[in-house]
C-alpha cells in the first residue's frame, strides 16, 4: 500500500451559524479520550472505562470587525447561551468526518504590536459525544 499523507490543508471545518471558519483557522485538533479506571485485583490490573471526554483545540487568526466574524459569533454565543451546544463538523480528510457539540467559550482579545492577533480555544466537547463517519 502506498503511504498516505494528509495535512491540515485536508481539514474542512464548519459550525452552527455558518461563518467562514476555514478562512481563519490555522489549527484544529479534536481529542476524544476514554476515562479509564484501573483496579488492582488478585489477578492483577483490571480496567473499566467509566466515561468518555473530548476537547476541541482551535487556533485561529482573529477576525473582529469582519462581516460574519467567527470571534464575534463565538463571543455572543458564550454571552447569551453559554450552555447551549454549537455543532461542529470537522472533516479530517475526504471520507473521515466527525460531528460533535461544543460549549461556547469567549475568545481572547488583543495581541502584540508586531504580530497578527490570534485566538486559541480549548472547547469542551459536550458529553464527549463525537459522531464519526468513515467511508
Q: Which residues would be at the binding site for other proteins (CB under 8 A)?
A: 8-13, 22-28, 61, 114-116
User: Which secondary-structure segment (H or E) carries 35?
Assistant: strand 25-41
**Between 112 and 135, CB nearer to other proteins:** 112
Q: How is residue 97 written as a grid cell?
A: 468526518
**Between 20 and 85, CB nearer to other proteins:** 20
Report in angstroms how near the CB of residue 61 gets to other proteins at its nearest: 8
Report in angstroms how near the CB of residue 38 gets to other proteins at its nearest: 37
Residues ≥6 apart with Cβ < 8 Å to 1? none
- In 3D space, the residue among 125, 104, 118, 100 whose CA is nearest the CA of residue 64 turns out to be 118
Task: Order across the sheet with 12-15: list the strands.
Answer: 12-15, 86-93, 96-102, 131-134
**Between 76 and 89, CB nearer to other proteins:** 89
Is 131 within 8 Å of 98 (Cβ atoms)?
A: yes
**Between 9 and 48, CB nearer to other proteins:** 9
Report in angstroms how near the CB of residue 116 gets to other proteins at its nearest: 5
Report in angstroms how near the CB of residue 114 gets to other proteins at its nearest: 6
Amino acid at each position: 500500500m502506498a503511504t498516505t499523507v494528509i495535512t491540515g490543508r485536508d481539514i474542512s471545518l464548519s459550525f452552527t451559524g455558518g461563518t467562514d471558519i476555514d478562512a481563519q483557522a490555522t489549527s484544529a485538533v479534536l481529542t476524544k479520550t476514554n476515562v479509564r479506571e484501573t483496579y488492582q485485583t488478585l489477578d492483577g490490573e483490571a480496567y473499566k472505562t467509566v466515561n468518555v471526554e473530548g476537547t476541541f483545540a482551535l487556533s485561529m487568526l482573529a477576525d473582529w470587525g469582519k462581516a460574519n466574524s467567527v470571534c464575534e459569533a463565538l463571543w455572543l454565543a458564550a454571552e447569551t447561551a453559554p450552555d447551549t451546544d454549537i455543532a461542529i463538523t470537522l472533516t479530517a480528510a475526504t471520507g473521515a468526518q466527525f460531528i460533535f457539540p461544543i460549549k461556547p467559550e469567549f475568545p481572547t482579545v488583543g495581541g502584540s504590536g508586531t504580530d497578527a492577533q490570534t485566538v486559541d480555544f480549548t472547547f469542551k466537547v459536550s458529553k464527549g459525544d463525537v459522531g464519526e463517519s468513515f467511508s
